[in-house]
A and B are shown apart, each in its own frame.
Chain A
Amino acid sequence: DAKTTQPPSMDCAEGRAANLPCNHSTISGNEYVYWYRQIHSQGPQYIIHGLKNNETNEMASLIITEDRKSSTLILPHATLRDTAVYYCIARPNFGNEKLTFGTGTRLTIIP
């Protein structure tokens, strides 16, 4: 699986948009970009995934660059409950189905 690189930590003011970057310069054509988060003491939670088009759901938006070497997860109106560790994962769309978690970005929402 392609290795992803994320900043170790970020802060964001409550109510503002949180933009979490991820680099995946070695991603291959059959790998999707997945985002999960882990709120303290809970199991990881799926957020969103995409291949090459931008995606949006009720939780977040995912912007993938045209060359697919990087992406940004956007939480449009961050709340205190969004404080968590966010993981960007590149995952093949067939074969190996496991998730490879890195160190993620610890996002802190500031009141």
Chain B
Amino acid sequence: EAGVTQFPSHSVIEKGQTVTLRCDPISGHDNLYWYRRVMGKEIKFLLHFVKESKQDESGMPNNRFLAERTGGTYSTLKVQPAELEDSGVYFCASSQRFGQGLGEAFFGQGTRLTVV
């Protein structure tokens, strides 16, 4: 069974440009999460989807970040316009159906974003 897949693995963009990160969760997982680690800091929660609905977006840093999960399958996280402080590693995770107990969350390998 394929794990959580993230694209691209690395991205280098200039300040002010737009970048879109993609996450393909494990098939059948309704829960999808985005996290990020900026340099020297802890891994921080960004938001949580249950199927196509945003369950919790309390961790989104500002309105330059837009996450979508059309159809409840893969998700995208767009940063527009990117700023230098957005540099870091963005992780996606998925877990089993909501309301069926807290199973383990499976993480992707992350997308390393560098804004120059």
Contacts and interface: CB of A to CB of B under 8 A. Distances in A.
Do A and B interact with each other, yes or no?
Answer: yes
Interface of A: 32, 38, 41-46, 49, 91, 93, 96-103
B106 A46 contact: yes
A43 B33 CA distance: 13
Nearest to A42: B109
Interface residues of B, number: 25
Contacts of B107: 43-45
Closest 4 CB pairs of A and B: A43-B107, A46-B104, A101-B43, A98-B45
> Which of the listed residues B43, B106, B107 has the most CB atoms from chain A within 10 Å of its own CB?
B43
B42 interface: yes
A103 to B, nearest CB: 6
A83 B44 CA distance: 22
Nearest to B102: A93
A32 B103 CA distance: 11
Contacts of B91: 43-44
Interface string B76-116: 00000000000000010101001001101111111000000
A43 B108 contact: yes
Contacts of A32: 102
B28 interface: no
Contacts of B14: none
Contacts of A91: 102
B102 A98 contact: no
B17 to A, nearest CB: 25
Contact of A98 (B48, B98, B106): B48
Nearest to A100: B45
A98 B35 CA distance: 9
B97 to A, nearest CB: 12
Contacts of A102: 42
Interface in B1-42: 4, 31, 33, 35, 42
